[in-house]
Amino acid sequence: MHATSRALRHLVVIIALALGGCAELGTSGNRDNTPAATDAEQWYKNGEFDRAGQAFMDIADADRDYRDHYRLRAAEAFREEGNLDAVAWALESIKAKRLSEAEQPRFDLLEAELALSKKNAQRALTLLALDDSKLPRPLRLRTLELRARALALAGDAFASARTRVALNPSLQGKDRERNESQIVDTLAQLDAQALKQQGAALLPGDALRPYIDYALRRAGQALPQTLAQPGVPVGTQGGANALNGEGYRPAHAIALLLPLDGQLKAVAQAVRDGVFAAYFSDTHMPRPELRLYDVGNSAADAVAAYQRAVAEGADRVIGPLRRDAVSAVFAQNPLPAPVLALNLPERGESPPPGSAAFGLNPDTEGAQAAQHLLDRGITHAAIVAADSDWAERAAAAFRAQFEAGRGSVIGESRIKTGELNYSASIKSALAVLPAQSATAPVQKSAAGSDAAGMDNSAVFISMTPQQARLFMPQLKLAGYSNLPVFATSHLFGGLTNPGMDRDLDGVEFCDAPWLFDAVVGLPRHADIADSLESARGAGARLFAMGMDAYALTPYLDWMSQHHDAYLPGATGQLSSDGSGRIQRLLTWARFSDGVATPATGSLQISNPAP
């Protein structure tokens, strides 16, 4: 029992509350200034909880008038020691009706914790059915944490996770990280179908939604997304004499948090160059100060870099890149300088108020590809993806979005790394469609039929350029040359190579519009790529991301409050989803004669006016 109780004490907020609980909760009773009581309270503050508890019990035995008060203090001390047996001993002779109004909820919380230690969820929930909004902050946090544990023990995983989400904004550092991990672990107890049903009922900005999505992704599935359809560009002139456009709030000093060494060095370099390219192209004067900080290769280093940047005057922060580093920085909430993170946080949590998360996520591409097919009247799709994490995420997002739009996935397969013969994967994914020769007329599905036919079906692929160059000829040889193929950006290496890419002719894919000079007002991609190696090839998307990160910074506050507003960015039309995530609306390109060009025009939208 003692070891179990000690483990319970370390769950989430317990450590945070132990330091200041006594002073914040206060005491009652007119004898607290006696030497014995003063000594006991001092031992409690010093962390000598067992000694303090024994002292409070001795005082209770000697002072009948305040016995219940001192036994309650003893129980609280024993709880901090992690000795729930001693807590029960201290509480057993307390007459609750003799406690003050302020002491009653403290007594109930201790009793609830004892009930949980005995696996009695219903008694714990009964004791915790109090109005926590009127409690002092430490008691309110404890109430929420205990209620979450009780709900989980009672089998209501969704309500438990919801309770922890309500608790999360009040936590910091490791306490917040543990709470977020428990949200995901609790949701993971539900099957995928139950998670999808619960997620579908949530509004897009609901703080619980990202955790459900993360729990589903761990099972290889996803929630359908609410795809952005913003209609108002940011930076509209505020009047004839306006110096800056509407919504523009410049920073005085921007800190750029990126690793200078390690596995992400090349990625960081492309992002860094994009940020500086946008900075030196900025026509708003005066430009903010821009400083680069090395975040090392750990989450702790990223937090230290953030704190240093703030201490040196930064009022906006761009970065970090690593997902665990993003989570660690966000866990420092409240953040004195708002953060535009360059990735989603590790557990899918929402950014703190005023901050945002921005990334090149394969989930976005998969979902938008599905919607693109549905908009074209394609109701049946086969999925063929690489066996890598990014491709799995894109495939899961495609399926979720396509099925949510009443599309039907007719087959799905994976291509293993190093595999050259894709015939088995093609046959597995397209088994319900009869193969036909390239010269045969397209077989149409019967009018009003839900059956898959060549006229209402397509293939969605998420794979590397090398894999796509092998896949397309084999798809045609298998008898599916008339089947349209749609892809994520991963099949395009970012360089024009007609000789290598001619086999990709006809494939449509979503990508960053800047790669095709499809956004008015931005410098031409080719011009920058001629000068900077980091803007070439696959690195061009990261370079574009850096450009967008700098451009987003002065508009983040405005976009968080105006969800119909968008920034015409290098990586897509950028908007805020209401929960601190930057959404990207991508452009579509098609291969013709081995060259990728915009498929349906371009995002012909001017950049914010200077």
Sequence ranges of the domains in the chain: 2-155, 247-358+522-575, 362-437+452-511
Evaluate whether the domain defined by 247-358+522-575 bears CATH number 1.20.120.350: no
d(CA 372, CA 577): 20
* DSSP structural state of residue 488: -
542 within 8 A of 549, measured Cβ to Cβ = no
To 5 degrees, how large is the angle CA 549–CA 554–CA 559?
A: 90
Encoded tokens for 518: 């499809």
- pLDDT tens, residue by residue, 194-253: 999 999 888 877 889 989 998 998 888 999 988 888 888 887 655 444 446 678 899 999
Beta bridge partners of 519: 603
Residue 450, pLDDT above cutoff 70: no
**CA atoms 200, 204, 209, 215: torsion sign:** positive
Encoded tokens for 517: 């000079």
Architecture of domain 2-155: Alpha Horseshoe (1.25)
Encoded tokens for 224: 């359908």
Rounded to the nearest 10°, the torsion over CA 480, 481, 487, 490 is 110
Residue 226 has a pLDDT of 86
- What is the CATH topology of the domain spanning 362-437+452-511? Rossmann fold (3.40.50)
- Binned at pLDDT 50, 70 and 90, residue 314 comes out as very high
Residue 30, pLDDT above cutoff 80: no
Which pTM was predicted? 0.83
* DSSP structural state of residue 568: E
Residue 422, pLDDT above cutoff 50: yes
| Coil/strand/helix, residue 585 | strand
- pLDDT tens, residue by residue, 162-184: 999 999 988 888 898 899 999 99
Range in 311-315, 397-401, 462-466, 579-583 with the lowest mean pLDDT: 579-583
Asked if domains 247-358+522-575 and 362-437+452-511 share a fold, the reply is: yes
Let me know how many helices (H) and strands (E) the chain has, helices first: 24, 16
